[in-house]
Each structure stands twice: as C-alpha cells, then as structure tokens.
Structure 1
Amino acid sequence: MKRLIYLMAASLIFTGCRKYVEIDQTGTRTFKYTNDYRALLDNSATMEASFSLPMYSGDDTRFLDSSKQVAMQDIYANAYTWQPQYWSDIQGDVDWERLYKSIYTCNEILNGVMTSERGNDDQKRQLYAEALVNRAYFYWSLVSLYAKQYDAATAAADPGVPLLLTPDLFAPLKRASVSTVYDQIISDLKEAAPALPDLPDYNTRPSKAAAYALLARTYLGMRDFTNAMTYADMTLAIQNDILDLRNYATDISAFPYRLDNKEVIISKTATGFYFTSMQADTDLLSLLGSKDLRFTLFIRPGSNFAPAFTGYGFWRHRYSRETNVINNGPGVAEMMLIKAECAARNNDAATAIELLNKLREKRFLAADYTALEVGTAAEALKSVVDERKRELFGTGLRWIDQKRLSKDVAFATTVIRRFKGIEYTLEPNSNRYVYPIGQKYILLNPEIEQNP
C-alpha cells in the first residue's frame, strides 16, 4: 500500500512512460523525443503548480461574515483555525499531492531528456535546467509548508519532507532534514542557471531570472541576507519592470493578463473555486488605507461577490481573466522588497527606503503619494515588512512571511481570530506554523514522520 505520495503521478506509467512500457501501444506516446519533454514542461496543469491553503492561514485573510464561516468546508476551516490535523484518514491534501505529482514529472524529465532523440545538446540542457528549477520551486513550497522554519542551529536535525530525486515509485519516504532539502533546492537552482536564457519565451517557463529569484526567496527563508540580496540584485539586473498602477486608476480594461504581466518572473498558480470570495483582514485594510491603488483596484466590497458578504474581498486575480487562478510565483516587486529587507537588515536604511519609494510611487496617484523618509534601519525594516504585506496579500505568501518573521522579536506577533463563536490563538513560533501531513499518507507509509 506504499507510494501514495506518488499516486497521482503514477498515471504517467499507464500513458506510455518508456521506463515501464517496452513497446509503443496504439493511441499512446512514449517519452522518446526531445519535444516530448518540452511538452511535459509546457503542461501548465503540472508545471505551474503551487500551494493554496496558506491563503486561509495567513493574517491577511479574516472571515468575519458569519455566512461565510458557516459555508466554509472543513479542510479550509481547519487551516483557517490552525488545527492540529486538517484532514480525516481518508481525505487527500491537494497541495501535497499536486506538488509531489509535479516533482515526479520533473524527475521523469531529468531521467530521460538528455538521451532523447531529435534534439540538439543545447535544447536538452535547457529542458534539463527547466526541470531543475521547477523541482526546486516545488520543494521550496513543500518545505515552507510542512517543515519547521529554517534555523541554522537545528536545520540539520529538523524533519523536512521526503526528498525524491528519481522517478522511482518505491524510493524510501523517510523525511530528509530541513537542511538537506534546502541544500538540494540551492543545488538544483545553481546547476540550472547557466543553461537558461536570461528571460523566457513565456513566463510559465524558467529562466535565469527565475532561478535567481527562487535563490533569493530561498536564502531569505534561511536568513542568509547576504546571498538573498545578491540573488535579488542579479534578478533585477535582468528583469526590473513593474506595473505603474496609475495607468489603470480610471480604466482597468488594459490591465495585463497574467501571461503578459511584465512583473511576473515565473508564473506559479493556485487554483480553486474557493478563491472567488476570499475576505480581507481588517488590519490589512487599515494598513492599505483608502488612497493606495492596491486598495482601490485590488479590494472590492463584499457586495461585488456572489454570494455577497459583509466586508471586503480580494479582487486582483479577477483581472487575469481566468477563473479562480491566483499567481504566487516570484515577481519583480517581490525582488525589490527582498533587496530592501536585506539592505535594512544590513543597516543600510537609505537603500531600503529608496527601493520602497521606487515601488510605492507607482502604487499611488501623484496627488496621494508621499515619499517615505530615511530614518533608522529598524524603522526601514518595519516599513519593508509592512510593504510586503501590502504588495503580496491574497497570494499565501503572507503566511510564509509570518512563519519566518516569528524569528524576529520585533515581528513575532500573536494572531487571534474568532470562528463560529470560538476564539483561536496562534503564538509566534508555534508548531501550528508547520502544516500537518495528511494522516492518509502516514497510515499508508508509516516511515513518514508526523509533525508535532
């Protein structure tokens, strides 16, 4: 009964994977030609996979409307209230399964593309590198959700996630350490970068900018602010355009589709019908204020949603002209914020504030914009953290920020929310910041250790 972790991925076997089928069958295709691997990498349902539950857990979301609380499904309610277990023994974790299915596909590509036919060496190396970048992203997502926050003092002992590097359905599933998983992510990204173009043909494909951006994200989570700043800088040297929201203040019709958005470095998407009416937290609304274009454009009253609710909800993803799709892949604004945070932590308040002002200038109408003034490094860091919350709300990235910022005394806050008449509290550095692993997978694979 083992290997449920790869259950969804196993469908590849039955559609003609060469490793398991010795002859081509009518109506099927084996992975034989280089273009077959390009097709696998361009399958957005697999390669754009990302996480979704953090959108419920993070403090940028707050379901105050009682009708929305009553209507919320059990898994989402459990994530919203930080329960010790989200799933019953028979329920599946969509994020866990989707990410591991994508890893399986990456491993199939890495295993076969270099010996594929009808492709030149440069094409094969690029596809190999794209698979490495995607695999690194999927493992970054998994270790960010299902393992403790990286801490240099304990990362070598803290359980990470099962680290599967080959398309072997019978590989051991014992959890690698947090340190080992992070090392693999960094290794994959650094190996991939030289074979990739600076910018992609489409923002669904990895590029050098994407590899560097993911390295910046990874090092930020490790609190290696020197390397995080280095790779954010390297990303911005390649891709640095941000949207000027002033251009859409009176007419949103020209707002770019996700695939045409110059801010998107690599598109990674969470999908689900429950994104249609996510309610914004009141503290977030207060932080935004009424003049910020991210409020006037990307937040709407509950009356705009169906079913309607009391309060305000997230609207930005609606401009993608897609149904229930939220992009939370790395973008240019995020890289500016990583660079600014690292500068502030290095006591360079001037650089941090300069970057924030460059971003904020395009988030307000001229009459409403006031530049931030340079003060202390601590004040600059607070400004950066606030700006990340304004810029990245509704993507799930706030939950990952909350988790890592719990290591900072200045940002280690207690979150309290009421749900169906019961009060729930999330303390800084709580074990509840580590998502439980679905009991279903542990029952079928006892070698997987549950989180505390």
Structure 2
Amino acid sequence: MKNIYIKTLCVLTLGLTFASCNDYLDDAPKGSKIPTTLADYEAFIRDEYTNQSVDIAQASTLINDKFIDIATLAAQRLTKANYMWDETADRIQLNQADERTYYGQYAGISTFNLIIANALTTTEATEEQKRVIWAEAKILRAMSYYNLANFYADTYVASTASTKLSVPLITSADINAPSKQVTIQEMYDFILTDVKDALPYLPKVSQTPLHPNLGAGYAFYSRVYLQMNNYTEALKYADLALAENNKLYDWVAYYNNNKAVIDIPNSYTNTPSPMGYDYVENYTFRHGERTYLSTEYSIPVERAQRFETGDVRFKSRWKIRTVGAETYYRRTLSGMFNYGGITTVEVYLIKAECLARAGQISEALDLLNAVRKTRILPASYQDIATADKTTALNAIFKTKYNELILTLIPFTDARRLNAEGVYKFSLSKTADGTNYNLSSESHLWTMTFPQGATKNPGNGTITQNVAK
C-alpha cells in the first residue's frame, strides 16, 4: 500500500480521526506523500486491519457463540458479566477498557468520510473511476454505522425509532467536526441514503475482495431492510443481490477432501479455511474480531449442540477437547475468515425468511434446503418439509444462526426477533451446578458505550442507551 501521510492521527472520542485536506502539512516527511490522486485515497480501503475489521467481541460473548475460559472470566469483569448473563452487573462501570468496537468502527468511518469528501476532486482518474471509489466508501461507511447502531443502541422498532437515541453521527473527516447522537430513525435514514446514493456507481466486479461491488450494495440494503422489518424491500434487494452472485460453497466436498485429517481422534491439526478473500460466497470481505490471528474461536459445548446432525461445516471447524476442568469445542481451521462482510448464504436466508413471512412456505424451504444440501452429509440429510409458517421460520432462523456464527448477525437477528415478540430468542445453560438464563427481555441485549467515549465526548454529547 502507498505510504500516505496525514498530519493528525489521534484517537478522539469518535474514533481515529483523520485531518481534513486543509490540515495536511505543506511538507510531507521524506518517504511520505500528501494524498492527491484517486489512487492515494483508494489505498485507504485496502487498509484492511484498521478500516475493514469488525470487532463485535461482547456480542459474541453475550450469546455464547465463543468459548471463554475460566482465567479470562476471572480477569475480564465485563466479559464475565455478559458471558454469565449477570443482570445485576453495572456494565457501564465495568466498560473502562473494552473500546475496540467503538473506536474501531469510528476509525473506519473517519477514513470513509475522508474518501467521500475528496474522491470526486482527486487527480489522475476519470470521473467514472472517482465515482466508483466514492460509492464504495459510502457503502463501507453505512456498514460501519449499521454495526455501531446495532451494538450500542436498541434495535429498530418503527413505533419508537424516532424517540430513542442511536449513536453519534459524524460525516466529516475534519478533526473539529461536530457530532450529534441522532435517533435510531435518523441513523437508519442516513444508512439507507448512503446505500441509495452509492448503488448507481458500484461496479459489478470488485477491484479487490475489500471493495464492495453491486452485489454487496444490494445485499447490505436487504440486510438493513430486514432489520427494519420491511420484508417487501428486503426480498426485493435479496433477489437483486442473488442475481449478481448466488454461489454456495460445497462444504460436503471440503469435508470429504480433508476428512483424513479432520477425523483423526484427539488431533487438532489445522486445515485451511475456505472462508478467506476468495470464498465463492463473498460479496465483500471484512475481518472480524481476530484480525491478526489466523484461527477462529473455540465454542462452548452448549453452542455446538445447536448444529444439525451431519453438519460438516461444523465438523470441519471444531472438535471436542478437554483440558483440565474445561471441556469445549476447539477450533481447527486456519487462515482468513469473512466475519465482517456479507456473503450469499445470508442473503439466501433473508430471502427465505421474507418468503415464509409472506406465506410462500414451499419457496422459502427450497432456498433453505439448497443451503443445507451443501452443509449436511448425504447420510444425514433430509429436506425440511412443512406447511406450517412457524416451523419453517424456526428452521430458517436455526440455520442462519449456525451459518453466521461469530458474526454480528446472530446478535442483531435475536434483538430483532425479541422486539417483534413472536419468535423470541432466549438462552439457558448450567455451569458448576447453577442454572443461568438470558431472557429475551433482558437489558443485556444493548451494549454500553465505553467510558472513554462518554467521559470525553469531543465536539458533541453521548448519552448511554441502557441503564447498566
């Protein structure tokens, strides 16, 4: 990547904020340069470990999608409060250091603001090329705001979205830019507008897996509308996304090709992750929580039990292990993992949900079973067949929950369904002889802003969206 020099790289309340063009030094240090060409700005999109990572650690912790060992629970009180569903804990006071989600997403937003503000006036590019980079930055900014809004604020409910607060909105890369903590409705309106602005200029084929293409734009639009319970629009854009890319990865073939290693008893030799940059299901690639590591998280026994019998996607990724007093399913893949981007399987299941809600049960199950056939061993596979809407939807939810494990989507879906009140999501477990429960009504479903943000709100104000 080009060595791009900017005057100010300082951590502010709203993230790692870049100076505006007027703040650049007149003389860049030797070996550096002031960004002027479109290529200079486009290079920021390729900064995958800062601008293209989505750290949602506490969300995965809350729904127990990852295994947390005894030592970590003893050392990290916020993590323990979420993992053990402690509703008495004051998570506002405990959240003194867990700032990665907040500052990480705003760091990317600052970068995308910089690109949006300058791409159209850069040099050494055609107008069409400028518009493409501008549009890609708009999609990435909208995706980052979606992550923040669905982490630190309540889920979207039309009747309350205009009165409840979301997260701070900032659209300028200037270090002195004001911020305003907008309502949930204002935030969703902003996200939808960004996508609408970008769609006409997105290319059908990406420059790299990090650059969102037209399929990514449609897929993200579908995700946002689903979160708003607008199933008509979610279905419309799911169809458009699948017209751009409808490929599904054959996990049965992956397992068969690697079973000699996968099936060795008590062996945890890593096999290569197929979910990297060239995963056929990718619309756009973004890293998850483990940006720099080449392995994914191990998962609890209770979580492993929610996978279908014969699910080789599960079998290829985790294997049971006992170390001392702890038993869990240890991860066995190594490589890259698209935990923060968008994939075709999510869109298949969005479309399936929308069809089922519209009473088109058979069509919905055709999509669900198309996904399952690429995941379940033939000896274990049976089509899910039902005429009952609730049964069909629960099957779709279960598959989606398993498919998108360790991403933000199981968390956002659970919040959406809990707010709807018809297909509520709750969890229970037993640890050391004690029963624990995460109610669908729990306040734990909304994360607290870190104290670093609320104590130093910069050029704006921040109000917590949850009492503790």
Instruction: Give the match's secondary structure for 1:249.
Output: helix
In the aligned structure 1, how far is the partner of 2:349 from the partner of 2:26? Answer: 52
1:79 — aligned with what? 82
Kindly indicate whether the alpha-carbon contact (under 8 Å) linking 1:85 and 1:438 is maintained by their aligned counterparts in 2: no
Matches within 5 A, 1:364-443: 364-417=376-429, 425-443=437-455
- 1:56 equivalent to 2:61? Answer yes
Give the aligned length: 437
Kindly indicate whether the alpha-carbon contact (under 8 Å) linking 1:200 and 1:206 is maintained by their aligned counterparts in 2: yes
- 1:26 equivalent to 2:29? Answer yes
In the aligned structure 1, how far is the partner of 2:298 from the partner of 2:316? Answer: 15
Q: Which one has a larger percent helix, Structure 1 or Structure 2?
A: 1
In the aligned structure 2, how far is the partner of 1:389 from the partner of 1:440? Answer: 32
Which of 280, 284, 291 is the aligned partner of 2:299? Answer: 280
In the aligned structure 1, how far is the partner of 2:325 from the partner of 2:255? Answer: 24
Change in 2 beyond 3 A, CA 1:288/1:416: closer
Instruction: Give the match's secondary structure for 1:126.
Output: helix
* Cα offsets for 1:141-190 (capped at 9, x unmatched): 00010111100000011101111111132333331000111111111111
1:39 — aligned with what? 43
In the aligned structure 2, how far is the partner of 1:87 from the partner of 1:274? Answer: 30
Matches within 5 A, 1:139-288: 139-252=145-258, 256=274, 258-272=276-290, 278-288=297-307
- 1:311 equivalent to 2:315? Answer no
Which of 340, 358, 361 is the aligned partner of 2:373? Answer: 361
In the aligned structure 2, how far is the partner of 1:98 from the partner of 1:52? Answer: 10
Measure how far apart 1:92 and its partner are.
4.9
**1:228 is aligned with what amino acid?**
A
Instruction: Give the match's secondary structure for 1:356.
Output: helix
Percent of aligned pairs with the same residue?
26
1:137 — aligned with what? 143
Which of 354, 357, 363 is the aligned partner of 1:345? Answer: 357
Kindly indicate whether the alpha-carbon contact (under 8 Å) linking 1:174 and 1:449 is maintained by their aligned counterparts in 2: no
Measure how far apart 1:293 and its partner are.
0.9
* Cα offsets for 1:83-122 (capped at 9, x unmatched): 4426657525111001001100111111111111111101
Structure 2 unaligned runs (5+)? 1-9, 259-270
In the aligned structure 2, how far is the partner of 1:115 from the partner of 1:94? Answer: 32
Matches within 5 A, 1:109-120: 109-120=115-126
Instruction: Give the match's secondary structure for 2:288.
Output: strand
2:265 — aligned with what? none
Instruction: Give the match's secondary structure for 2:319.
Output: strand
Kindly indicate whether the alpha-carbon contact (under 8 Å) linking 2:151 and 2:447 is maintained by their aligned counterparts in 1: yes
**1:268 is aligned with what amino acid?**
R
Measure how far apart 1:409 and its partner are.
3.5
In the aligned structure 1, how far is the partner of 2:288 from the partner of 2:403? Answer: 18
Measure how far apart 1:335 and its partner are.
0.4
Measure how far apart 1:265 and its partner are.
1.1
Change in 2 beyond 3 A, CA 1:380/1:192: same
**2:361 is aligned with what amino acid?**
A
**2:200 is aligned with what amino acid?**
P
Measure how far apart 1:21 and its partner are.
2.5
In the aligned structure 2, how far is the partner of 1:438 from the partner of 1:424? Answer: 26
Structure 1 unaligned runs (5+)? none
In the aligned structure 1, how far is the partner of 2:228 from the partner of 2:384? Answer: 28
1:4 — aligned with what? 12
What is the Cα-based RMSD across aligned positions, in Å? 2.7
**2:100 is aligned with what amino acid?**
V
Is the deviation greater in 23-32 or in 133-142? 23-32
Instruction: Give the match's secondary structure for 2:316.
Output: helix
